[in-house]
Every structure is written in C-alpha cells, then in structure tokens.
Amino acid sequence: MTTKANKKEHQTLAERANTLRAGVLGANDGILTVVGVLFSMAVATTSNFAIFMAGLSDLLACAFSMASGEYTSVSSQKDTEKAVVADEERHLNERREENLATVTQYYQARGVSPQTAQEIATELMDKDPLGTIVRIKHDLTLGHYLNPWHAAFSSLVSAASGGIFPLVAMTLLPSAIRWQGTIIAVILSVALTGFLSAKLGNGNVRVAMIRNVIIGIITMFIHYYVGLLL
C-alpha cells in the first residue's frame, strides 16, 4: 500500500514539475519577446499609444503561441507514453523471461544480491507485471501521464504575466526614467526566471541567472538598434 502511494506521489510531482517548467519558460519568453517589440517601437516612434498596442499585441500573440506549442509538445509526449505502455501490454506474455531478467538486473545494479533480486523480480512480475515493467524500463507510472492542458494553461498565464513587466514599465513610467526602469524590470524578471529554472532542474542558480540576464541585455540591445532602422 505504501509503495503504491509513493509511486502516485512521485508521478504527481513529476506532472507538477512539468507544469512549472512550462510556466517558467513561458514567463521568460513573454518578457523577452515583449521587451523586444517595445524597444524597437519606442525608438521608432514617440507615440505612447502605438508602443502600448504593439507591446500588448505581442504579449497576447506570445502567450497563445507558447500555450499552443506546449499543448502540442506535451500531447505528443503523452501519446508516446501511452504507445509504450500499450506495446508492453501487448507483448507482456511473450517477453516474460526477458522482462524478468530486466527487473532482476535493475535491482542487482542497485546493490541487491542476485538471489534476492531474483525473488523481488519474480514477486513483482507476478503481482503487477505491466506496472513493474513500464516503471523500470521506461520510468512511467500507469495511469499518470503528463497533462497537455495543464502545461498549455500554465504557459499561457505565465507568458502573459511575464510580458506585463516590461509593458507596464515602458508605457506607464515617466519619460525621464522609462528606459532605465524598463531595463531594470527586465533584468530583475529574467534573473527570477533563471533562478526558478535552475531550482526546478537542480542546476547552478548563479549560472542560470547570469545567463538569463546576459540574454535579456542582448535582446534589448539588438531590438534597440532594429528600432533605429525603422
């Protein structure tokens, strides 16, 4: 009973991590795409309304684009997972000896003695053959697949939320501090998304934050000079 509960909890955490990942990526894209358009427009025109409308249009386009991309990507992954499970179920009986050996080797590789590993594998394959083999061979848990709608919604909301920071800074701050305020807003925002992405992926926080800040600065720099060409 405890083992099944742990499996369910583990898979649920994986699903949540995927949703959070989509959210972080969406926020980062929202920030950078919106600030890119805003910088180009702010250099090319002095019309605050035109700048705002361009930024808002890009924010919405980015949000829905990210959402549709996440939905398509996660749907494909979910279909692949289901196909793998279906294939294992279809060939479960004819691959019994092969699967038993796979499970035995799995536990031996984790320090279990050959005899004990054989006993564990035999018991698991007798009680839950399909669940055992998809977990060990493919790191999947039966009945728990990534949800494309969760990922799409998370990406949609986060991309829109991320784009709001540069949009508000560029269009609502006083003209005397508009550029400086937008740059600071973008740097802080992408530093935060770098921090979150590193935490979710167990990566180096400092490297992720610095990398995101550098990319943000380059994005603003490029689009500023694109605006000069308009």
Is residue 75 domain-resident? yes
Record the tokens describing residue 120, joined without a space: 């564990």
Q: What is the pLDDT of residue 224?
A: 87
Mean pLDDT over residues 52-57, rounded?
Answer: 94
Answer yes or no: are the C-beta atoms of 223 and 40 closer than 8 Å: yes
Whether residue 127 is contained in a domain is answered as: no
CB atoms within 10 A of CB 21: 18
* pLDDT above 70 for 1: no
Residue 111 lies in a domain: no
**Residue 149 domain-assigned?**
yes
Domain-embedded: residue 175: yes
Of 197, 200, 227, nearest to 215 by C-alpha is 197
Task: Find the mean pLDDT for residues 98-122.
Answer: 91
Which pLDDT value is given to residue 7? 40
Judge whether residue 49 has pLDDT over 70: yes
Cα 184 off chain centre by: 25
Q: How many domains does the chain contain in total?
A: 1
In the predicted model, what is the mean pLDDT of residues 128-144? 86
Distances (CA, A) of 204 to 22, 127, 199, 210: 19, 42, 8, 10
Question: How many other β-carbons are positioned within 10 Å of the β-carbon of residue 179?
Answer: 17
Domain membership of residue 68 as a residue range: 2-80+145-229
Within a domain: residue 107? no
Give per-residue pLDDT as tens, 172-225: 999 889 999 999 999 999 999 889 888 877 788 999 899 999 999 999 999 888
